Every structure is written in structure tokens, then in C-alpha cells.
Homo-oligomer: A and B are copies of this chain.
Amino acid sequence: MIDSVEILGFVAATLTTAAFLPQVYKTWKTKSAESLSLSMLLIFVTGVSCWLGYGLLIKSLPIILCNLITLISGFLLLYFKIRYKN
């Protein structure tokens, strides 16, 4: 049975994964990424790629899934940042 500590972990993972979806929506909707830091996005996408690689190597489905979704969000934000620059 999953205990309450594991449930807290799942809630944490779901929230930190879902958090970037309203950011992607807002950036797409407003076509403005001016106050987003390009360094943040580059470091973040690199870090999430490492998490994904780590998840694949230790064969952890929750780590793989969360970081795959977050990586898509990260790449979309990076694309918007470059696309809406001018």
C-alpha cells in the first residue's frame, strides 16, 4: 500500500510538473516572454534533460514521466523566448 509520505511525493511531483503549464499558456497567449530569463530556460532544460536521463537509467517511471512533460514545457518556453524576441 502507498503510505502518506509517498502520496506527498506524488503530490509534489504533480504540482512541480503542472506548474509550467500555465506559464506556457500565458506566454503563448500574450506572445510575450520578455521577463523570462533565457539563462534560466537554458539551465532548466539542460537540468530536466539530465533528470530524464537519470530516470531512464534507474528505470523510474514517475521521474521519466514528470521530466518528459516538464521538458516539453521547457522547450516550448525556450521556443517562445526566441520566437517572441522582436
Contact = CB atoms under 8 A, between A and B. Distances in A.
Contact of A12 (B5, B9, B23, B51): B51
Given A8-B54, A57-B5, A19 B35 contact: no
Q: How many copies does the complex hold?
A: 2
A70 B27 CA distance: 22
Contacts of A39: 22-23, 26
Question: Interface of chain A, helix or strand or loop or mixed?
Answer: helix
For this complex, into which size category does the number of interface residues on chain A fall?
35 or more
Contacts of A41: 19
Interface of A: 5, 8-9, 11-23, 25-27, 30, 32-37, 39-41, 43-44, 46-48, 50-51, 53-54, 57-58
